[in-house]
Amino acid sequence: MRVLVASRGPSLATMLGAGGYDVIEARPGDARRWGVGDDVPDHDTAVIDLDDVTLSEAVIRQILQTRPDSHVVVIAGLSPDWREPHLPEPTTLLEPPLTRERLLAAIETTLRSPSRAAQETPTESPLAPQVAFTQVPVQTPPPVHDAVRTLRTSLHDLSSVREVATVVAEAAAERVVAERIAIVLPDGPVWRVAGGVGLRAVEERLMVEPQHWLITDVLAGHRGAVIEHTDITRAQLRGSPLASMDQLMVATSQSLRAVVIAGRDDPAFGVLDLAGLRAVLVEAEPALEEAMAVRNLARDLAPFADA
């Protein structure tokens, strides 16, 4: 199945490629040119993650105009404009936080959509009904005790968020030659330091509010940052881990809504360092996502534990 991904970064394409899809990557500049004469690449499903709601709406309309059999999955941004987007049908809107499971489920749903089933089901004669139906077998979920037994036998294969985050931090520190690393992951309405290298005790327990600069500017802006001599950004960095370091670098993951911060005293980080930090984060996304899912399940099961 061919999936067209129009995004500001490579994480979605990497995620879908790992899921076995034939991915066609496009950037915002490519998407803008589709409306002024450039052909939209051939595809089955399109995933749009452009943050700008006006551009997203225009791109979706252009895709559906040139390829009416396409289904579009659009990732909502964090700006207020996304509260009431005017998205043409058929479009599936995914709001943050975005997970790998939600994205893959949305794409798989397009395979079972009635419009696509009608196109793929041949009619017997010109007089046959124009609407075709396919019967999807219903899978009965396994009994609860079977699911519990399977999970218990797999406990030794599971890792906590802190364990995985620490391993990721160690890999990042080695990759970019950083003295300190902080992995900051979403936890409900806030972001928390999940693990790191060289962190102070107070930083290990640090909570980052959603209105912090790291979240509203860096993460929401789908970008990274290299900060040389942090004195000039001290006010913005207040309340974040590693704020006292002289040289900082920040990479983000849109699929996890995660932030990774690297710090050292000298020399300054560069563009290649940022690319290396981003690569480590992309490689770690599946493991971090699984650990976060295990954490959430453990919390959901807490009421069933004996007092």
Residue 134: what pLDDT? 47
pLDDT at 220 over 70: yes
pLDDT at 140 over 70: no
> Looking at per-residue confidence, does 195 or 16 come out higher?
195
Q: Considering the entire predicted model, what is its pTM? A: 0.55
Distance CA 162, CA 233 (A): 29
Residue 113: what pLDDT? 58
Give, rounded to a whole angstrom, the gap between the first and last alpha carbons of the chain.
50
Residue 132: what pLDDT? 43
Distance CA 290, CA 265 (A): 33
Q: What is the pLDDT of residues 230-280, one digit of tens each?
A: 676 778 888 899 998 989 999 999 889 999 999 999 899 999 999 999 999
Going from N- to C-terminal start, the domains of the chain cover 2-120, 158-304
The pLDDT mean for the chain works out to: 82
The HSE-up count of residue 16 (CA atoms within 13 Å, CB side) is: 27
- Choose which CATH entry (3.40.50.300, 3.30.300.30, 3.30.450.40, 3.40.50.720) describes domain 158-304: 3.30.450.40
Long-range contacts of 158-162 (CB under 8 A, 24+ apart): 158/291, 158/294, 159/287, 159/290, 159/291, 159/294, 160/291, 160/294, 160/295, 161/185, 161/194, 161/195, 161/288, 161/291, 161/292, 161/294, 161/295, 162/194, 162/195
Q: Residue 294: phi, psi to the nearest 5?
A: -65, -45
Torsion region of 94: left, alpha or beta (phi above 0 gives left; psi -120 to 50 gives alpha): beta
pLDDT at 131 over 50: no
**45 and 72 in contact (C-beta within 8 Å)?**
yes
Domain 2-120 classified CATH 3.20.20.70? no
Residue 65: what pLDDT? 85
Q: Which two tokens stand for residue 98?
A: 């975005």
For the CA atoms of 47, 50, 54, 59, what is the dihedral angle to 10 degrees?
Answer: -40
Residue 139: what pLDDT? 55
> Looking at per-residue confidence, does 188 or 38 come out higher?
188
Q: What is the pLDDT of residues 92-124, one digit of tens each?
A: 888 866 677 778 888 887 666 555 444 444 444
Q: Residue 139: phi, psi to the nearest 5?
A: -95, 125
SS3 assignment, position 300: helix
Q: How far is the CA of 213 from the CAs of 210, 218, 234, in angstroms?
A: 8, 7, 11
